[in-house]
Each structure stands twice: as structure tokens, then as C-alpha cells.
Amino acid sequence: MAPINVDVVNDSKVAPTAKKALPEVETDSNGQEHKRYSYETLVETANFLLSKTSVRPTIGVICGSGMGSYWNEGSLAETITDAQCVPYEEIPNFPVSTVEGHHGRLVFGHLGDVPVVAMQGRFHYYEGYPLWKCCLPVRVMKLLGVQTLIATNAAGGLNPNYKIGDIMIVKDHINMMGFAGNNPLHGPNDERFGPRFPPMNKAYRFEYRKIAKEVAKELNIENIVKEGVYTCLGGPNFETVAELNMLKMVGVDAVGMSTVHEVITARHCDMNVFAMSLITNECVTSYDLDAEANHEEVLDVGRMRQDILRKFVKQLADRFAKAKANENP
Ligand SMILES: O=P(O)(O)O[C@H]1O[C@H](CO)[C@@H](O)[C@H]1O
Ligand SMILES: Nc1nc2[nH]cnc2c(=O)[nH]1
């Protein structure tokens, strides 16, 4: 793939005012300034990456907490063959990872025959990044040619039928942060990425969820694979008992601090989305229980499930790529 030419990528959907409308710098509620990423800036980032690797990924994977750690031999990101790694620090305009269990690099390579790029470390709102900055890599993936996003995360299980180590296919989300007006698409819209008002009722592709259930059967793991509704809270604290009971009442099955904004950004730019949560802890919904959530347990469960996750994601990438090929013969 040749370097991206903005004039070529700009197709007829480009709103002529979009470029001018984007403010260069945005100030967050703490008074900290964040340079806005224009379409052109992200094209620069994508071109830098294309110059660093010969891989032209069609699937992007976001590794959740404990699922892509460099010390975690055999982890999701370690499964990628012919890996070419680019540390976030070296990527122009990229934020850096600050959370344990998120190594902080892009891994280009192959899952089976499928060219992929994996984020070994994602960005969270609680690290101090505005949501649009947390989701910058998703737009960069799109510019790299990625058509399908597989987002994984660690989450607390609220559904009483979920056990630690279960994998929840995300069928829908509740954008709690969005209810308060915090949305990655907040601000001027650049139509080169997508429409001002994107629909979200089919965010998690039905066909891919169906494929995932078939793959779970083939791998003999259907007993630990569930399907449910995810929500993201801002973090970094884990939830109170009252908060968890409220979330349960509104239909949340698993709670985390990521993914929702990434999915919104991916759907905005018309990527196909599949997401899954590894249930790393049971949410404490009673004052009588002594247990407390902690990040170490989250990482431990990621380690415990690495073999299964690795096989599952590899198969999913293969089957999603085949499904996509059948769509566009
Ligand atoms: O969503 P990921 O990045 O998998 O991580 C989840 O686990 C961490 C808490 O242990 C939080 O960052 C939460 O979002
Ligand atoms: N918000 C939230 N995020 C998590 N990530 C892993 N477990 C949890 C949890 O219980 N709550």
C-alpha cells in the first residue's frame, strides 16, 4: 500500500468546512490542553506506520488488561507471527500507555493467514486522556486499511450466572459516560471519518457474534462463553455496591473502563466490530461480602485464560476474514 494521499482518501463525502472547523487545541475540564488530531495529522501517523512495516492489516485487535502483556508469554499479542513491533513512544501523535498490563506498542503481523495489527496496550479515560484521544488508534487503524475491529477487555461480572474466567461476547453496550455528554465523537465532525449522527443499534455485528458462538463450540469452550451487555465507567476506582446494583437493574452484565468509546469510533468510520469481555472478577453486589476488586486479580485471570483467548481470537480472525471475503468477492 502506497503512502496515503489525503487528496485521494478525501472522497466526495468530504465536507469542505470540516478541516477548518476543527480547533487545534482542546482544553479538558482540568485545564490541561490536548492538541486535536485532524484527519491530516492521523494520515501522517498512518503513513509513518506504513513506512515501518510491510504488513497491511485488515483486522485490528485491542488487547485488554492482562491479555497482551509483553511479560505474558503466550498471550494474545505473542500469538502474532512475523511480528513487527512499534512502541507507542516512536509513533508520531500517539499517546503512551501508563497502566500495568498494557505494554504500549503496536504489533503488526499475522494471525494464521490474516494480516493484523494489535494494540498491546490501550488508552483509558482515567489515564487523563480525553475520549477522542483514547480512540485515536482506531482511526489510525482505519487509515491503515483495517476493516474489522476485535476489541477485548477485562471486566467485572455482574450477571450472577457469570464466573471468573468466562468470556462474554458483547452483544450491546450502555454508554454511561455518553449519558453525561462525554463521547469520543464530541466536537466538530469530520465527514471523512463518518457521519455526524451515526446509528449504534447494530454496533456489534450479529454475523460475527454468531460466528464466535460457532467457534466456541468447535473449540469446546461453549460452557464458558456467554453473551451480554457491557458498560464502561470512567474509573479508575472500582464500583460501589449501590452503583453495581443500579447497573444490574438497567441490564448490564459486565462492567469495565474501556471499549465503548472505541466501538463508537470504529462504527463511526464504518468498521465491523466484534468485542468480548474476559470476566476477571465477580462484582460485589452485597454489603455482606468481604471481597474487593483489584487490578492484580484482573491481570492474573488474563494470564490464566491466555491459551484459550489466543486460540479463540486466532480462529475468530480467520473466520471474520473469510466472512468479509465472501461479502466482497
Ligand atoms: O478494559 P481493559 O483495558 O481490559 O482493563 C480493565 O481492567 C482495568 C482494571 O483492572 C481497567 O483498565 C479496566 O478497563
Ligand atoms: N469498572 C470495572 N472495570 C473492571 N475491569 C475489570 N474488572 C472490573 C470491574 O469490576 N469494574
User: How much distance in Å is there from the Cα of 255 to the middle of ligand 2?
Assistant: 5
Per residue in 2-12, pLDDT (tens digit) is 667 554 443 43
**Positions in the chain whose pLDDT score sits under 70:** 1-3, 5-30, 32-35, 69-74, 101-102, 328-329
258 is in an annotated binding site: yes
Q: Is 158 in the pocket of ligand 2 (CB under 6 A)?
A: no
Cα 165 to Cα 202: distance, rounded to the nearest angstrom: 27
For ligand 2, atom 9, name the residue with the nearest CA: 156
Give the number of the ligand closest to the Cα of residue 309: 1
Closest CA to ligand 2's atom 3: 256
Q: Is 65 annotated as a binding residue?
A: yes
Q: Is the CB of 259 under 6 A from ligand 2?
A: no
Q: 241, 72, 277, 243: which is closest to 163 by C-alpha?
A: 277
Handedness of CA 99, 100, 101, 107 (dihedral sign): positive
- The ligand 1 atom at the shortest distance from the C-alpha of residue 155 is 6
Ligand 2 neighbour 64 (Cβ under 6 A): no
Q: Whose CA is nearest to atom 14 of ligand 1?
A: 257
Ligand 1 environment, Cβ below 6 A: 64-65, 99, 122, 124, 153-154, 235, 256-258, 295, 298
Ligand nearest to the CA of 237: 2
Assign domain 6-327 one CATH number from 3.10.150.10, 3.40.50.1580, 3.30.70.1020, 1.25.60.10: 3.40.50.1580
Instruction: Please report the pLDDT score of residue 16 as a whole number.
Output: 40
Tell how far the Cα of 129 is from the centroid of ligand 1, in angstroms. Answer: 15
Residue type, 148: T
**Domain extent listing, the chain:** 6-327
Contact in structure between 86 and 104 (CB atoms under 8 Å): no
Whether 234 contacts 125, CB under 8 Å: yes
Crossing angle, helix 306-327 and helix 206-218, to 10 degrees? 130
Three cell numbers written together for 193: 471519518
**Nearest of 260, 235, 239 to residue 248 by alpha carbon:** 239
Q: Is the ipTM of this complex over 0.90?
A: yes
Is 239 annotated among the ligand-binding residues?
yes
Q: Ligand 1 centroid to 135 CA: how many Å? A: 15
Q: What is the pLDDT of residue 46?
A: 98
**pLDDT for position 328:** 66
Residue with CA at minimum distance from ligand 2 atom 5: 155
Atom of ligand 1 nearest to the CA of 294: 10
**Pairwise CA distance, residues 181 & 183, whole Å:** 6
Residue 103 labeled ligand binder: no
Q: With contact defined as beta carbons under 8 Å apart, do 234 and 257 qualify?
A: yes
- Determine if residue 209 is labeled as part of a ligand binding site: no
Q: Which atom of ligand 1 is nearest to the CA of 152?
A: 4
Residue of minimum CA distance from atom 1 in ligand 2 = 256
